[in-house]
Chain A
Amino acid sequence: MSTAVASTIDWPKWEDPGFYLQDPEVMQAQMAAQREAAPVYWYEAPALATGFWVLSKRADCRFVGSNPELFCNKYGFAVGDANEPSETVLNQLPEWAREELAKPDVTPAQRRGLIARGKLSLGDPALENMIFLDPPRHGQVRRIFMGALKPSLVRRLKPRMAEIADEFLDEMVKPGDEVDFVRTIGRVPAAVMTEMVGVPPSERERFIELASAHLEAITVTPDKDPAEVARVKKLAQEFRDYVDKLLEERRASGGTGEDLISVVVRSELDGGPVPRSTAFVFVTHFLSAGETTRALLSHLAMALGQRPDQRKLLLDRPELLQNAIEETMRYYPINWTGCRTATQQVEVGGQTIAKDDYVVMAYAAANRDPDVYEDPDRYDITRSFENDHLGFGHGEHSCPGALLARVDSLAIWERVLARFGDWELAGEPKIWSNPFLRGVTTLPVTFKA
């Protein structure tokens, strides 16, 4: 893109939820304009408590992700954490966070971190969420999580993922019928995950509903209807009670099972059993993986549904499926961005970033970096990935469920391709998107025999 063209395009309004609701290609054009003119850019807006740096080049994002001693997580992890919080948001924070915020010597970075942690803490200041941890604690906690999702377990699960996919396809998807991909095949990852967690099949649907409410409850937004907040909070409390019951049951039985909670219960942290405040967060992370994998599966169905030549290529050459999954993660990353705070003055891309400055790694922009990807705005399932995309982030905070998401997607799509000769979109997809995540709400499709 030339500078002349770039200058006619608005640059992203990173803090504005409306920016993320635009057509993805309009967003990408805006991100490209900024990336070309100012790949490391200091961004300010009235709604922000503090400005932040936006990094749009893959190399700069990787540098930040690779150096946790220079860029920490404890002062926020999402673009929304930089916002000046409204009264509604502040009122929804737990008491402990409000007390801390009221102290006179709180720095802007500490304030950002308190609000971010308060939103995710569910009222419990002891709740230990990996997303806010830095070395060495982060490694100690993440090791337990990764121990539960180890490659041998994922490998053993792949046939079961295919079986569950077949169960859903048998029941819900008939050739010639119009179905909503998101609410049929898209539910398979959540079903897999509930089984991995050890929820009985009879309670699966209820558990998924409660888990979804929990995810909604931690997304504090200024415009939420108080009645809806109350409804979601009630369901989320039910979810937490259910998770606590699962944890107690596994502890009582000595954690001898093969499910993920048993693995966590058998693990040690600080020389003793993993405390509830850490184990609980693990379970919520396991369940979030079902939702994000649903988004990946749906993006793939949508991307190929919109591109008949690429779809035919995959149908003719199913060995390209892994490539198609990677290209989908590059082209439609589920996380728009990841954020850190500089722990000291550091130079990135020729700009000096000061201690405590907030830094936004714009993964979606970096995944279209023309210095790395040839013809980056083309969705191409034959693209080679000698340069990994940032669809799962990068560095020690990269998505811990990446392997599971890849294998789950592969197992499910292998079954879809084995059972159907083709598919077409039967209507316009509906996308959900916020400044942190993106997914698909509805995707009408018709599969053919």
Chain B
Amino acid sequence: MSSVGDLDFHYVLSCPCGETLTAPSEDGIVEASFAHLREKHPELADKYEREHILMMARRLVRP
């Protein structure tokens, strides 16, 4: 039984601080990550670029 019907995916990024960020698209997870950095880790906000965030984000099944 390999059929599981339609599966939706989203992007998940686990910040080492313990917060898990999710978004439906690449652009969305980049935006959410920058917002999280600015709010919770301002000292790191300029250390990351889009490509870094996309490397850390995982495309996983959405609940």
Q: Which residues of A contact B (CB under 8 A)?
A: 62, 65-66, 150-152, 154-155, 309, 312-313, 316-317, 319-320, 322-323, 326, 382-388, 394-396, 398, 403, 406-407
Task: List, in ascending order, chain B residues with CB within 8 A of A155's CB.
Answer: 51-52, 55
Which residue of chain B has its CB nearest to the CB of A384? B63
Q: Given A316-B2, A319-B9, A382-B4, decide whether A388 and B14 contact each other with a Cβ distance below 8 A.
A: yes
Do A398 and B55 touch across chains, with their CB atoms under 8 A apart? no
Do B60 and A385 touch across chains, with their CB atoms under 8 A apart? yes
Task: List, in ascending order, chain B residues with CB within 8 A of A406's CB.
Answer: 58
Binds A, one of B15-23, B24-32, B34-42: B15-23
A387 to B48, CA, bound (A): 24
Task: List, in ascending order, chain B residues with CB within 8 A of A154's CB.
Answer: 55
Do A62 and B58 touch across chains, with their CB atoms under 8 A apart? no
Residue of B1, B22, B62 near A309 (CB, 8 A) is B1
Which residue of chain A has its CB nearest to the CB of B48? A151
Task: List, in ascending order, chain A residues with CB within 8 A of B55's CB.
Answer: 151-152, 154-155, 403, 407
Task: List, in ascending order, chain A residues with CB within 8 A of B49's CB.
Answer: 152
Do A382 and B16 touch across chains, with their CB atoms under 8 A apart? no
Which residue of chain B has its CB nearest to the CB of A395? B18
Do B16 and A384 touch across chains, with their CB atoms under 8 A apart? no
Q: Given A312-B2, A388-B20, A395-B16, decide whether A323 and B51 contact each other with a Cβ distance below 8 A.
A: no
Task: List, in ascending order, chain B residues with CB within 8 A of A152's CB.
Answer: 49, 51-52, 55
Q: How far is the CB of A348 from chain B (nearest CB, A)?
A: 16
Task: List, in ascending order, chain A residues with CB within 8 A of B14's CB.
Answer: 388
Do B56 and A151 touch across chains, with their CB atoms under 8 A apart? yes
The contact sample of 16 A-B pairs, CB cut-off 8 A, is A65-B18, A151-B48, A151-B51, A155-B51, A319-B59, A320-B7, A326-B60, A382-B61, A383-B61, A384-B60, A384-B62, A385-B61, A386-B12, A394-B18, A395-B16, A395-B18
A130 to B60, CA, bound (A): 31
Which residue of chain B has its CB nearest to the CB of A322? B58
Closest 10 CB pairs of A and B: A151-B52, A312-B2, A151-B55, A384-B63, A313-B2, A155-B55, A384-B61, A388-B14, A322-B58, A66-B18
**Which of B4, B22, B51, B61 has the most chain A CB atoms closer than 10 A to its own CB?**
B61
Given contacts A65-B18, A322-B58, A323-B61, 10 further A-B pairs with CB under 8 A are A151-B48, A151-B53, A152-B49, A313-B4, A317-B7, A320-B7, A382-B61, A383-B61, A384-B61, A388-B20
